[in-house]
A and B are shown apart, each in its own frame.
Chain A
Amino acid sequence: MNKRSKKCRTEVKPGCRATGPLLFDYASRAGKLGKADRESVRKHLADCPNCRLAVTDISAVVGILRSASRAESAPDRLSSDRRMRLLKLVSRKKP
């Protein structure tokens, strides 16, 4: 570990801790962050290469996961036989 990255981590730690929970939303759906939060993340990122890298990574991972999503083809209803079995099962139980 070189001196520079050690120094950088020490310097940005409090800011990183405060900004950390906002990075995901900033990277994946910035529009949903409030204006103040968005601004504070933007300011922090200007001074913190580690968090900038984290945002780039999150953004790339979210992008690939969403584009790769196979569950979009998941049926949105239980199959009719399962639904019937389910209702039959619960109707036998006491209320």
Chain B
Amino acid sequence: MTTEGDNKKAVKLAAFDTIVSEYEGMLLRYISRIVLCHDSAQDVVQDTFIKLFKNWEKELVPSSELQSWLYRVAHNCAVDHLRKETRRTLLHRREATEHEEFTPPDRGADSRVNEAAEKAAAALRKLSLREQQLVILKVYEEKSYREISEITGLKTSNVGYILHFAMKKLADELKQESAI
């Protein structure tokens, strides 16, 4: 026999499953660009959906509000992931120094791309995480300033300002590298 609670849970699970199917591709693409590792991106996106299930109090239906929330939470999860990875790398480095050898963590064959791509990726990685986020949302996700403002919580004018200087830094870096 099913109770009202069971029914409610089944309905929420079905709605959650639909949301996962709707947004998993978008988040995997976005997070892969930040963490540069598909495996890590899968972990980050999984954590994001767990947070959604725990914390989203409104109805689980696709909406621009939900999409902005997912981008925001996924970005924060990715930043946490990168911090942990940096701590791990530093620890490896310290241990390796003690043993006089250090092999940086291999991000996998999928991170080896052509020379221009390497230069572009390297230039992008030199930006702050906030600048990277804005460039990725604008260049790849093709979001408007208003949408980026909803995702990041920044004022629209700040989005334009940060993006303008991030693009200038990228251009200067890529010119120096003779990539453009």
Contact = CB atoms under 8 A, between A and B. Distances in A.
Contacts of A82: 42-43, 46
Contacts of B28: 74-78
A86 B32 contact: no
A47 interface: no
Contact of B41 (A57, A65, A74): A74
B94 interface: no
A24 B42 CA distance: 31
A89 B47 CA distance: 11
Contact of A57 (B46, B50, B124, B171): B171
Contacts of A24: 138, 163-164, 167
A74 B38 contact: yes
Nearest to B17: A87
Contacts of B1: none
Contacts of B9: 91, 94-95
Interface in B127-146: 135, 138-140, 142, 145
Main secondary structure of the interface of B (DSSP, over half): helix
Interface stretch (B72-80, B81-89, B109-117): B109-117
B113 A79 contact: no
Contact of A20 (B20, B29, B50, B160): B160
B111 A70 contact: yes
A22 B61 CA distance: 33
Nearest to A23: B164
Contacts of A60: 171, 174, 180
Given A20-B164, A58-B167, A95 B139 contact: no
A57 B13 CA distance: 47
7 contacts: A20-B164, A24-B138, A74-B33, A76-B25, A78-B46, A79-B42, A86-B46
